[in-house]
Structure 1
């Protein structure tokens, strides 16, 4: 074979650069395509567990209180402004279509805004009492979004305390509310890992009125407590009229679908002070043991 043919078989000048830029040559942990593949799902699950866990340990957070509630519940300021806007449109355009429905919705938002206020007040009370430098107990944890979640994070923020937000990727992206402690604002892809982090340090669950997400989270916790997968913790439903209208727990008991003792797994409260009193009664006025519960997700 001639020298010219030998030279033709040599790599071209650009070949080394092409190899270095190829996906196969990337370090595995830098290969986004690899990490997002179906085969790597177990690793992504582990990462979603480890990333928040490391941050929470570094922040010294030992026990938490989980606050659930509707993302659509507004503060009184926002709800009142919406009601004023409906009144203004009615004055400008009497008899306009959908006015009655808008008025009902606006008045309902004002009515439900009291839960925003109580969530905010509760978070301020419990955060101001139990969070101290070097030991952070009963740290408020929310889903990180708007509504009741925002109210609870806001209450902690107002007293200079830390709070956690566990956001999740959704088809319509949910932005984190601005009151979460920045280094404790996490975003999840997997609902299952998010739910695990809600409960790993939880010493109480406080559920305000909400929709499907709130109900899903509430009943998962009740099921885990009922079946002994997590230790008994206070589960407090805020707004007895709302909850008793929404769910007929007595009917479930009467039909033999739950035991009478299961109805003692939760209680009702109407105000921030009422929630705090129930927590004090349950724990005897002491901060609970911060050791991790042994449970199976």
Structure 2
């Protein structure tokens, strides 16, 4: 085990850079899906590499430890590195569970804020915010403060935006990238990027629904300025990620799409899959050499 087992770890360093570049040139729906897939593949490859490194600890335990002096055996990784990989894998697993628990409790708290009628729950709260609360069924949670803030047309934008989150299942993309970054901290920048992309996606859906991009831009700006303190809520709120950039995207002419930017993230994902496969083959060969002595 000399090279391929480490390659997925090294490639993870490049994923946020390539994903960010890709997101500049693609429609937000395609960019969000691609970024999520890339992060998921990277997290699985990262976990697989750590698992293989961790399993080499068994060569220090009986009965395998009795064969350490055999020079003809392929050498696994140093014991200290295997122990570090095991700790990193355990820490990643704990972070993933903590992230899922946090999301579950937060969703439960949001559902408790109001009773849904016809897919809309109104909370008697003066602070203006509106979020899409996923579930079976999902619904839009909006406060009385937000309803007072927006006029009739802006309320239509708000509902179109939040319903887009529910219809497109944006919470799944957000949860996947959150778990991926929890497992693989090298992906820490990807969840914020996907959060922004799904907001842009919902903005575009709202613009298509209302036929007025300027109205969507005004509504996003208005809601974001009024609800600055609510950024701790899960994505899928009208006031969500990077409002200034979202307003600019609504008001400025659309730039050209560069479909070639997909090539980078696709090539990176394929490289991680290939490296992981080769690392597994190498690990199986090393393990077979050692276990053959026991049998």
Calculate the TM-score normalised by the size of structure 1: 0.28
Q: Whose RCO is larger (CA < 8 A, sep 6+)? A: 2
Calculate the TM-score normalised by the size of structure 2: 0.28
The structure with the greater share of residues assigned to strand is 1
